[in-house]
A and B are shown apart, each in its own frame.
Chain A
Amino acid sequence: MKPTRAVGVIGYGGYIPRYRIDAAEVDRVWRGSGKKEGRSFKAVPGPDEDTTTIAIQAARNAMDMASIDPEELRAVWFGTESKPYAVKPTSTIVADAIGALPHANAADWEFACKPGTEAMQAAIGMVGSDMARYAMCGGADTAQAKPGDVLEYTTGAGGAAFILGPGQESVAVLQASTSYVTNTTDFFRREGQEYPNHGQRFTGEPAYFHHIRSSVTTLMEEIGAGPGDFTFAVFHQPNSQFPLRVAAELGFARDRVEPFVLTNLVGNTYSGAAMLGFAKALDVASPGDRILLASYGSGAGSDAFSYEVTDKIIEVRKRGVPIERYLKRKKLVDYAMYARYRGKLRRN
Protein backbone atom coordinates (compact mmCIF):
# COMPACT_ATOMS: atom_id res chain seq x y z
CA MET A 1 0.00 0.00 0.00
CA LYS A 2 1.20 3.48 -0.77
CA PRO A 3 -0.50 6.83 -1.34
CA THR A 4 -0.51 8.52 -4.74
CA ARG A 5 1.01 11.64 -3.18
CA ALA A 6 4.42 11.28 -1.49
CA VAL A 7 4.14 11.28 2.30
CA GLY A 8 6.71 11.07 5.06
CA VAL A 9 7.72 11.87 8.60
CA ILE A 10 8.35 15.60 9.11
CA GLY A 11 9.06 15.38 12.83
CA TYR A 12 9.14 12.82 15.61
CA GLY A 13 9.69 12.62 19.34
CA GLY A 14 9.76 10.10 22.13
CA TYR A 15 9.48 10.04 25.88
CA ILE A 16 10.60 7.58 28.55
CA PRO A 17 9.92 8.08 32.27
CA ARG A 18 12.87 8.64 34.57
CA TYR A 19 12.46 5.69 36.91
CA ARG A 20 13.78 2.15 36.30
CA ILE A 21 13.50 -1.13 38.12
CA ASP A 22 15.96 -3.98 37.62
CA ALA A 23 14.33 -7.22 36.49
CA ALA A 24 16.45 -8.91 39.18
CA GLU A 25 14.52 -6.90 41.79
CA VAL A 26 11.21 -8.21 40.46
CA ASP A 27 12.70 -11.68 40.55
CA ARG A 28 13.94 -11.20 44.13
CA VAL A 29 10.43 -10.38 45.33
CA TRP A 30 8.54 -13.14 43.54
CA ARG A 31 11.05 -15.98 43.15
CA GLY A 32 14.01 -15.14 45.36
CA SER A 33 16.21 -16.94 42.90
CA GLY A 34 19.07 -14.44 42.83
CA LYS A 35 18.88 -13.44 39.17
CA LYS A 36 21.96 -11.43 38.21
CA GLU A 37 21.54 -7.68 38.58
CA GLY A 38 22.21 -5.06 35.91
CA ARG A 39 21.18 -7.08 32.87
CA SER A 40 17.73 -5.74 32.14
CA PHE A 41 15.61 -2.88 33.38
CA LYS A 42 12.20 -1.46 32.72
CA ALA A 43 10.98 2.13 32.82
CA VAL A 44 8.51 2.90 35.58
CA PRO A 45 6.08 5.82 35.30
CA GLY A 46 6.35 8.28 38.17
CA PRO A 47 3.41 8.77 40.54
CA ASP A 48 2.14 11.68 38.44
CA GLU A 49 2.61 10.02 35.05
CA ASP A 50 0.27 8.01 32.89
CA THR A 51 -0.21 7.30 29.20
CA THR A 52 -1.61 10.78 28.62
CA THR A 53 1.38 12.61 30.11
CA ILE A 54 3.79 10.35 28.21
CA ALA A 55 1.93 10.98 24.95
CA ILE A 56 1.88 14.74 25.58
CA GLN A 57 5.65 14.93 26.06
CA ALA A 58 6.33 12.78 23.00
CA ALA A 59 3.94 14.96 20.99
CA ARG A 60 5.62 18.17 22.21
CA ASN A 61 9.04 16.83 21.24
CA ALA A 62 7.70 15.92 17.79
CA MET A 63 6.17 19.39 17.39
CA ASP A 64 9.44 21.07 18.38
CA MET A 65 11.25 19.08 15.73
CA ALA A 66 8.64 19.62 13.01
CA SER A 67 8.39 23.32 13.85
CA ILE A 68 4.91 23.73 12.36
CA ASP A 69 1.86 25.63 13.55
CA PRO A 70 -0.11 23.11 15.66
CA GLU A 71 -3.34 24.42 14.16
CA GLU A 72 -2.21 22.93 10.84
CA LEU A 73 -2.54 19.42 12.26
CA ARG A 74 -5.79 17.85 11.09
CA ALA A 75 -5.46 14.71 13.17
CA VAL A 76 -4.01 13.77 16.54
CA TRP A 77 -4.25 10.02 16.91
CA PHE A 78 -2.71 8.02 19.73
CA GLY A 79 -2.75 4.31 20.30
CA THR A 80 -2.62 2.71 23.72
CA GLU A 81 -3.86 -0.19 25.77
CA SER A 82 -3.57 1.67 29.09
CA LYS A 83 -6.02 4.53 28.72
CA PRO A 84 -6.42 6.58 31.92
CA TYR A 85 -10.11 6.96 31.01
CA ALA A 86 -12.09 3.98 29.72
CA VAL A 87 -14.48 6.49 28.13
CA LYS A 88 -12.96 9.88 27.21
CA PRO A 89 -10.24 10.18 24.61
CA THR A 90 -6.60 10.57 25.58
CA SER A 91 -6.03 12.23 22.21
CA THR A 92 -8.21 15.27 22.97
CA ILE A 93 -6.00 16.01 25.99
CA VAL A 94 -2.84 15.57 23.93
CA ALA A 95 -4.21 17.71 21.11
CA ASP A 96 -5.24 20.44 23.58
CA ALA A 97 -1.81 20.37 25.24
CA ILE A 98 -0.01 20.98 21.94
CA GLY A 99 -2.51 23.60 20.77
CA ALA A 100 -3.99 21.60 17.89
CA LEU A 101 -7.67 22.05 18.78
CA PRO A 102 -10.43 22.59 17.81
CA HIS A 103 -10.17 22.01 14.03
CA ALA A 104 -8.59 18.58 14.22
CA ASN A 105 -9.73 14.99 14.38
CA ALA A 106 -8.70 13.39 17.67
CA ALA A 107 -9.14 9.73 18.52
CA ASP A 108 -7.64 6.86 20.48
CA TRP A 109 -6.68 3.71 18.63
CA GLU A 110 -6.61 0.20 20.02
CA PHE A 111 -4.95 -3.01 18.81
CA ALA A 112 -2.89 -4.33 21.73
CA CYS A 113 0.68 -3.17 21.01
CA LYS A 114 0.22 -1.89 17.44
CA PRO A 115 -2.43 0.86 17.45
CA GLY A 116 0.25 3.51 16.93
CA THR A 117 1.30 2.06 13.59
CA GLU A 118 -2.35 1.65 12.58
CA ALA A 119 -2.74 5.35 13.27
CA MET A 120 0.40 5.93 11.21
CA GLN A 121 -1.15 4.14 8.23
CA ALA A 122 -4.31 6.22 8.62
CA ALA A 123 -2.28 9.43 8.87
CA ILE A 124 -0.41 8.44 5.72
CA GLY A 125 -3.77 7.97 4.00
CA MET A 126 -5.07 11.31 5.25
CA VAL A 127 -2.03 13.25 4.10
CA GLY A 128 -1.61 11.14 0.97
CA SER A 129 -5.18 11.87 -0.12
CA ASP A 130 -4.65 15.61 0.49
CA MET A 131 -7.33 15.73 3.18
CA ALA A 132 -4.67 17.14 5.49
CA ARG A 133 -1.29 18.73 5.20
CA TYR A 134 -0.17 17.30 8.54
CA ALA A 135 -1.39 14.52 10.84
CA MET A 136 0.07 13.27 14.10
CA CYS A 137 0.11 9.65 15.20
CA GLY A 138 1.73 7.90 18.12
CA GLY A 139 1.74 5.10 20.60
CA ALA A 140 2.22 5.22 24.36
CA ASP A 141 1.65 2.90 27.26
CA THR A 142 2.19 2.30 30.92
CA ALA A 143 2.21 -1.42 30.37
CA GLN A 144 0.26 -3.52 32.83
CA ALA A 145 1.26 -6.88 34.28
CA LYS A 146 -0.15 -9.01 37.06
CA PRO A 147 2.23 -8.90 40.05
CA GLY A 148 4.50 -11.92 39.89
CA ASP A 149 3.57 -12.80 36.31
CA VAL A 150 6.40 -13.35 33.83
CA LEU A 151 5.18 -10.19 32.07
CA GLU A 152 6.09 -8.12 35.13
CA TYR A 153 9.79 -8.52 34.40
CA THR A 154 9.47 -6.50 31.20
CA THR A 155 6.36 -4.28 31.22
CA GLY A 156 7.74 -0.76 30.84
CA ALA A 157 6.45 2.71 30.04
CA GLY A 158 7.11 5.11 27.20
CA GLY A 159 5.87 6.38 23.89
CA ALA A 160 6.63 8.15 20.65
CA ALA A 161 4.86 10.50 18.27
CA PHE A 162 5.29 11.10 14.54
CA ILE A 163 4.02 13.90 12.37
CA LEU A 164 3.23 12.87 8.81
CA GLY A 165 3.32 15.46 6.07
CA PRO A 166 4.14 16.03 2.39
CA GLY A 167 7.08 14.05 1.07
CA GLN A 168 9.05 17.14 0.07
CA GLU A 169 9.09 18.31 3.71
CA SER A 170 9.98 14.92 5.17
CA VAL A 171 13.00 13.58 6.98
CA ALA A 172 11.94 10.09 5.89
CA VAL A 173 9.67 9.36 2.95
CA LEU A 174 7.36 6.36 2.95
CA GLN A 175 7.97 3.81 0.21
CA ALA A 176 5.16 1.43 1.11
CA SER A 177 3.30 -0.16 4.01
CA THR A 178 1.46 -3.44 4.52
CA SER A 179 -0.69 -5.06 7.18
CA TYR A 180 -1.15 -8.72 8.01
CA VAL A 181 -4.01 -9.46 10.40
CA THR A 182 -5.72 -12.64 11.61
CA ASN A 183 -8.13 -13.59 14.39
CA THR A 184 -5.58 -15.05 16.82
CA THR A 185 -6.14 -14.79 20.57
CA ASP A 186 -2.69 -14.79 22.16
CA PHE A 187 -2.86 -11.92 24.67
CA PHE A 188 -5.87 -9.96 25.89
CA ARG A 189 -7.42 -8.03 28.74
CA ARG A 190 -11.14 -8.41 29.36
CA GLU A 191 -13.33 -5.36 30.00
CA GLY A 192 -13.04 -4.25 33.63
CA GLN A 193 -9.99 -6.39 34.33
CA GLU A 194 -6.85 -4.70 35.65
CA TYR A 195 -4.25 -6.99 34.12
CA PRO A 196 -3.89 -8.80 30.79
CA ASN A 197 -3.76 -12.54 30.22
CA HIS A 198 -1.47 -14.27 27.76
CA GLY A 199 -1.00 -17.63 26.13
CA GLN A 200 2.59 -18.24 27.23
CA ARG A 201 4.58 -19.70 24.30
CA PHE A 202 1.58 -19.32 21.98
CA THR A 203 2.40 -15.58 21.96
CA GLY A 204 5.55 -16.44 19.97
CA GLU A 205 4.41 -18.91 17.35
CA PRO A 206 1.86 -18.65 15.69
CA ALA A 207 1.37 -15.10 16.97
CA TYR A 208 4.38 -12.71 16.94
CA PHE A 209 6.65 -14.55 14.52
CA HIS A 210 4.08 -15.61 11.92
CA HIS A 211 2.48 -12.16 11.70
CA ILE A 212 5.72 -10.18 11.48
CA ARG A 213 7.23 -12.60 8.98
CA SER A 214 4.10 -12.27 6.86
CA SER A 215 3.81 -8.47 6.92
CA VAL A 216 7.52 -7.93 6.23
CA THR A 217 7.71 -10.57 3.48
CA THR A 218 4.67 -9.04 1.77
CA LEU A 219 6.15 -5.55 2.05
CA MET A 220 9.48 -6.60 0.59
CA GLU A 221 7.73 -8.38 -2.30
CA GLU A 222 5.63 -5.27 -3.00
CA ILE A 223 8.63 -2.96 -3.25
CA GLY A 224 11.04 -5.50 -4.71
CA ALA A 225 13.49 -5.25 -1.83
CA GLY A 226 15.41 -7.74 0.25
CA PRO A 227 16.79 -7.61 3.80
CA GLY A 228 20.13 -6.35 2.48
CA ASP A 229 18.46 -3.22 1.08
CA PHE A 230 17.67 -1.90 4.54
CA THR A 231 20.21 -0.02 6.63
CA PHE A 232 18.20 -0.59 9.81
CA ALA A 233 15.24 -2.73 10.79
CA VAL A 234 13.02 -2.14 13.80
CA PHE A 235 10.65 -4.78 15.11
CA HIS A 236 8.14 -4.85 17.92
CA GLN A 237 10.04 -5.84 21.04
CA PRO A 238 8.09 -7.60 23.80
CA ASN A 239 11.44 -8.93 25.03
CA SER A 240 15.00 -8.74 23.75
CA GLN A 241 15.00 -12.17 22.06
CA PHE A 242 11.90 -12.05 19.81
CA PRO A 243 13.01 -9.14 17.55
CA LEU A 244 16.48 -10.65 17.06
CA ARG A 245 15.02 -14.05 16.24
CA VAL A 246 12.47 -12.77 13.74
CA ALA A 247 15.17 -10.58 12.17
CA ALA A 248 17.40 -13.62 11.72
CA GLU A 249 14.53 -15.65 10.24
CA LEU A 250 13.88 -12.88 7.73
CA GLY A 251 17.57 -12.54 6.84
CA PHE A 252 18.42 -9.22 8.54
CA ALA A 253 21.91 -8.87 9.96
CA ARG A 254 21.91 -8.64 13.75
CA ASP A 255 23.92 -5.39 13.86
CA ARG A 256 21.20 -3.60 11.87
CA VAL A 257 18.53 -4.53 14.38
CA GLU A 258 20.08 -4.82 17.84
CA PRO A 259 20.81 -1.07 18.46
CA PHE A 260 17.07 -0.40 18.27
CA VAL A 261 15.96 -3.13 20.64
CA LEU A 262 15.42 -1.13 23.82
CA THR A 263 13.73 -3.82 25.89
CA ASN A 264 16.68 -4.44 28.19
CA LEU A 265 16.86 -0.71 28.91
CA VAL A 266 13.21 0.33 29.27
CA GLY A 267 11.16 -2.85 29.05
CA ASN A 268 8.29 -3.56 26.69
CA THR A 269 6.50 -0.26 26.24
CA TYR A 270 3.63 -2.00 24.40
CA SER A 271 2.22 0.58 21.94
CA GLY A 272 5.39 2.65 22.27
CA ALA A 273 7.85 -0.20 21.68
CA ALA A 274 8.35 -0.35 17.91
CA MET A 275 7.76 3.40 17.59
CA LEU A 276 10.48 4.27 20.11
CA GLY A 277 12.82 1.93 18.23
CA PHE A 278 11.95 3.70 14.98
CA ALA A 279 12.60 7.10 16.57
CA LYS A 280 15.99 5.88 17.79
CA ALA A 281 16.82 4.65 14.29
CA LEU A 282 15.93 8.07 12.84
CA ASP A 283 18.19 9.65 15.48
CA VAL A 284 21.23 7.94 13.94
CA ALA A 285 20.18 7.50 10.30
CA SER A 286 21.92 9.17 7.37
CA PRO A 287 20.39 10.51 4.16
CA GLY A 288 19.65 7.65 1.78
CA ASP A 289 19.26 5.03 4.50
CA ARG A 290 16.25 2.75 4.29
CA ILE A 291 14.52 1.79 7.51
CA LEU A 292 12.10 -1.08 8.00
CA LEU A 293 9.53 -0.72 10.78
CA ALA A 294 7.39 -3.72 11.76
CA SER A 295 4.96 -3.59 14.65
CA TYR A 296 3.03 -6.42 16.24
CA GLY A 297 -0.23 -6.34 18.14
CA SER A 298 -1.84 -9.31 19.81
CA GLY A 299 -5.18 -10.34 18.56
CA ALA A 300 -3.29 -10.34 16.09
CA GLY A 301 -1.56 -8.34 13.41
CA SER A 302 1.56 -6.65 12.16
CA ASP A 303 2.04 -3.44 10.17
CA ALA A 304 5.24 -3.04 8.16
CA PHE A 305 6.67 0.14 6.66
CA SER A 306 9.62 1.02 4.49
CA TYR A 307 10.98 4.58 4.80
CA GLU A 308 13.84 6.26 2.98
CA VAL A 309 15.71 8.94 4.92
CA THR A 310 16.20 12.31 3.22
CA ASP A 311 18.82 15.07 3.44
CA LYS A 312 16.51 17.05 5.73
CA ILE A 313 17.19 14.69 8.64
CA ILE A 314 20.52 16.34 9.40
CA GLU A 315 19.11 19.80 10.18
CA VAL A 316 15.60 18.93 11.33
CA ARG A 317 16.54 16.44 14.05
CA LYS A 318 18.73 19.06 15.76
CA ARG A 319 15.46 20.59 16.97
CA GLY A 320 14.41 17.37 18.67
CA VAL A 321 15.35 15.45 21.79
CA PRO A 322 17.36 12.29 21.00
CA ILE A 323 15.94 9.12 22.55
CA GLU A 324 19.41 8.51 23.98
CA ARG A 325 18.91 11.41 26.42
CA TYR A 326 15.90 9.71 27.94
CA LEU A 327 17.77 6.40 28.06
CA LYS A 328 20.58 8.05 30.01
CA ARG A 329 18.24 9.87 32.41
CA LYS A 330 17.38 7.22 34.96
CA LYS A 331 16.87 6.61 38.63
CA LEU A 332 16.68 3.10 39.97
CA VAL A 333 13.82 2.23 42.33
CA ASP A 334 13.20 -0.89 44.38
CA TYR A 335 10.06 -3.02 44.22
CA ALA A 336 8.43 -1.11 47.08
CA MET A 337 8.70 2.26 45.30
CA TYR A 338 7.70 0.64 42.01
CA ALA A 339 4.60 -0.80 43.69
CA ARG A 340 3.74 2.63 45.10
CA TYR A 341 4.29 4.46 41.82
CA ARG A 342 2.24 1.91 39.87
CA GLY A 343 -0.68 2.20 42.28
CA LYS A 344 -0.32 -1.35 43.55
CA LEU A 345 -0.44 -0.13 47.16
CA ARG A 346 -3.84 1.17 48.23
CA ARG A 347 -4.36 3.14 51.44
CA ASN A 348 -8.16 2.98 51.39
Chain B
Amino acid sequence: MHFARSWRQQSSNLRLVGSRCASCDAIFFPERIRCTGCGSSELKDYRLSGRGTISTVTRVFEAPRGFESQVPYFAALVELEEGPIICAMLTDVDQEDVSVGKKVSMVTRRILAHGDDGPIIYAYKFTPELEG
Protein backbone atom coordinates (compact mmCIF):
# COMPACT_ATOMS: atom_id res chain seq x y z
CA MET B 1 0.00 0.00 0.00
CA HIS B 2 1.27 3.44 -0.88
CA PHE B 3 -0.45 5.72 1.63
CA ALA B 4 2.06 8.53 1.30
CA ARG B 5 2.30 8.46 -2.48
CA SER B 6 -1.44 8.43 -3.10
CA TRP B 7 -1.88 11.19 -0.47
CA ARG B 8 0.75 13.34 -2.21
CA GLN B 9 -0.92 12.82 -5.60
CA GLN B 10 -4.48 13.56 -4.48
CA SER B 11 -4.68 17.12 -5.76
CA SER B 12 -3.59 16.08 -9.26
CA ASN B 13 -5.61 12.86 -9.19
CA LEU B 14 -8.86 14.43 -8.01
CA ARG B 15 -8.66 18.01 -9.24
CA LEU B 16 -6.11 18.00 -12.07
CA VAL B 17 -3.91 20.44 -10.23
CA GLY B 18 -0.73 21.13 -12.18
CA SER B 19 1.69 24.05 -12.18
CA ARG B 20 1.88 27.41 -13.90
CA CYS B 21 5.13 29.29 -14.32
CA ALA B 22 4.87 32.76 -12.78
CA SER B 23 7.59 33.96 -15.14
CA CYS B 24 6.53 32.71 -18.60
CA ASP B 25 2.96 31.37 -17.97
CA ALA B 26 3.85 27.85 -19.16
CA ILE B 27 1.43 25.26 -17.77
CA PHE B 28 2.44 21.77 -16.67
CA PHE B 29 0.74 18.60 -15.59
CA PRO B 30 1.61 16.98 -13.29
CA GLU B 31 3.12 19.58 -10.98
CA ARG B 32 6.73 20.64 -11.51
CA ILE B 33 9.19 22.51 -9.33
CA ARG B 34 11.10 24.10 -12.24
CA CYS B 35 9.86 25.47 -15.58
CA THR B 36 11.22 23.59 -18.57
CA GLY B 37 10.63 26.67 -20.73
CA CYS B 38 12.46 29.47 -18.89
CA GLY B 39 14.09 27.63 -15.99
CA SER B 40 12.20 29.61 -13.35
CA SER B 41 11.48 27.93 -10.04
CA GLU B 42 8.51 30.21 -9.34
CA LEU B 43 5.71 27.82 -10.17
CA LYS B 44 2.25 28.04 -8.63
CA ASP B 45 -0.51 25.46 -8.36
CA TYR B 46 -2.85 25.66 -11.34
CA ARG B 47 -6.15 23.81 -11.70
CA LEU B 48 -6.75 22.59 -15.23
CA SER B 49 -10.22 22.67 -16.76
CA GLY B 50 -10.37 18.95 -17.53
CA ARG B 51 -11.48 19.55 -21.11
CA GLY B 52 -9.40 18.29 -24.02
CA THR B 53 -9.20 16.25 -27.20
CA ILE B 54 -7.88 12.78 -27.91
CA SER B 55 -4.43 12.91 -29.59
CA THR B 56 -3.95 9.18 -29.85
CA VAL B 57 -5.60 6.13 -28.39
CA THR B 58 -5.09 2.41 -27.97
CA ARG B 59 -7.08 -0.46 -26.53
CA VAL B 60 -5.49 -2.38 -23.69
CA PHE B 61 -6.10 -6.11 -23.31
CA GLU B 62 -3.05 -7.01 -21.20
CA ALA B 63 -3.15 -4.65 -18.26
CA PRO B 64 -0.56 -3.89 -15.60
CA ARG B 65 -1.08 -5.50 -12.20
CA GLY B 66 -4.08 -4.02 -10.43
CA PHE B 67 -5.89 -3.07 -13.61
CA GLU B 68 -6.77 -6.57 -14.84
CA SER B 69 -10.41 -6.29 -13.82
CA GLN B 70 -10.92 -3.32 -16.14
CA VAL B 71 -9.74 -4.90 -19.43
CA PRO B 72 -10.41 -4.28 -22.18
CA TYR B 73 -10.07 -0.52 -21.75
CA PHE B 74 -8.92 2.44 -23.80
CA ALA B 75 -5.82 4.45 -22.91
CA ALA B 76 -5.25 7.78 -24.62
CA LEU B 77 -3.07 10.83 -24.83
CA VAL B 78 -5.41 13.73 -24.21
CA GLU B 79 -4.37 17.26 -25.14
CA LEU B 80 -5.87 19.53 -22.55
CA GLU B 81 -7.21 22.88 -23.72
CA GLU B 82 -4.52 24.64 -21.63
CA GLY B 83 -1.79 22.77 -23.52
CA PRO B 84 -0.42 19.88 -21.45
CA ILE B 85 -0.80 16.39 -22.86
CA ILE B 86 -1.90 13.82 -20.33
CA CYS B 87 -1.90 10.02 -20.49
CA ALA B 88 -5.16 8.68 -19.14
CA MET B 89 -7.72 5.91 -19.34
CA LEU B 90 -11.01 6.53 -21.13
CA THR B 91 -14.25 5.39 -19.57
CA ASP B 92 -17.89 4.92 -20.62
CA VAL B 93 -16.82 4.51 -24.24
CA ASP B 94 -17.17 1.97 -27.00
CA GLN B 95 -14.95 1.54 -30.03
CA GLU B 96 -17.23 3.74 -32.14
CA ASP B 97 -16.97 6.58 -29.59
CA VAL B 98 -13.19 6.75 -29.81
CA SER B 99 -11.35 8.74 -32.45
CA VAL B 100 -8.47 11.18 -32.68
CA GLY B 101 -9.78 14.71 -32.23
CA LYS B 102 -12.78 13.61 -30.15
CA LYS B 103 -13.64 16.05 -27.37
CA VAL B 104 -13.46 14.55 -23.91
CA SER B 105 -13.76 15.79 -20.36
CA MET B 106 -12.35 14.66 -17.05
CA VAL B 107 -14.30 12.52 -14.60
CA THR B 108 -13.18 10.97 -11.34
CA ARG B 109 -13.26 7.21 -11.22
CA ARG B 110 -12.06 4.33 -9.13
CA ILE B 111 -8.66 3.56 -10.65
CA LEU B 112 -7.26 0.95 -8.34
CA ALA B 113 -8.11 -0.85 -5.14
CA HIS B 114 -5.39 -2.52 -3.11
CA GLY B 115 -7.13 -5.84 -2.50
CA ASP B 116 -10.38 -6.13 -0.54
CA ASP B 117 -8.97 -4.49 2.57
CA GLY B 118 -6.60 -1.82 1.20
CA PRO B 119 -7.18 1.77 0.16
CA ILE B 120 -9.11 2.71 -2.97
CA ILE B 121 -7.40 5.10 -5.37
CA TYR B 122 -9.68 7.61 -7.10
CA ALA B 123 -8.25 9.54 -10.03
CA TYR B 124 -8.98 11.09 -13.39
CA LYS B 125 -10.24 9.36 -16.49
CA PHE B 126 -11.73 10.97 -19.56
CA THR B 127 -15.08 10.44 -21.20
CA PRO B 128 -16.81 11.90 -24.28
CA GLU B 129 -18.67 15.10 -23.47
CA LEU B 130 -22.37 14.58 -22.72
CA GLU B 131 -24.58 15.15 -25.71
CA GLY B 132 -27.25 17.78 -25.20
On A, residues with C-beta under 8 Å from B are: 18, 46-50, 52-53, 56-57, 84-85, 93, 96-97, 99, 321, 325-326, 328-329, 331, 347
Contact = CB atoms under 8 A, between A and B. Distances in A.
Given A84-B120, A93-B14, A48 B131 contact: no
Interface stretch (B24-32, B54-62, B80-88, B102-110): B102-110
Interface of B: 10-11, 14-15, 47, 69-70, 91-92, 94, 107-111, 120, 122, 125, 130-132
Contacts of A57: 107-108
Given A47-B70, A57-B107, A52 B122 contact: yes
Contacts of B69: 47, 347
Contacts of A52: 110, 120, 122
A53 B130 contact: no
A93 to B, nearest CB: 6
Contacts of A328: 131
B130 A93 contact: no
Contact of A18 (B14, B92, B132): B92
Contacts of A97: 14-15, 108, 122
Given A47-B70, A325-B130, A325-B132, A53 B92 contact: no
Given A47-B69, A99-B15, A53 B94 contact: no
B67 to A, nearest CB: 10
Given A50-B110, A84-B110, A326-B130, 15 more contacts: A47-B70, A48-B70, A52-B122, A53-B110, A53-B122, A56-B14, A57-B108, A93-B122, A96-B15, A97-B108, A97-B122, A99-B15, A328-B131, A329-B130, A347-B69
25 contacts: A46-B92, A48-B70, A48-B91, A48-B110, A48-B111, A49-B109, A49-B110, A52-B110, A52-B120, A53-B107, A53-B109, A56-B14, A57-B107, A57-B108, A84-B120, A85-B120, A93-B14, A96-B10, A96-B11, A96-B14, A97-B14, A97-B108, A97-B122, A325-B130, A326-B130
Nearest to B120: A84
Contacts of B111: 48
Contacts of A85: 120
Nearest to B111: A48
Contacts of A53: 107-110, 122
Contacts of A47: 69-70
Top 7 closest A-B pairs, CB basis? A48-B109, A97-B14, A18-B92, A56-B108, A48-B110, A325-B130, A96-B14
Contacts of A18: 92
A325 B120 CA distance: 29
B107 to A, nearest CB: 6
Contacts of B132: 325
A146 to B, nearest CB: 19
B46 to A, nearest CB: 13
A99 B14 CA distance: 9
Contacts of B11: 96
Contacts of A50: 110, 120
A347 B94 CA distance: 24
Contacts of B131: 325, 328-329
Nearest to B47: A99
Contacts of A84: 110, 120
A48 B15 CA distance: 17
A56 B124 CA distance: 12
Nearest to B108: A56
Nearest to A97: B14
Contacts of A331: 94
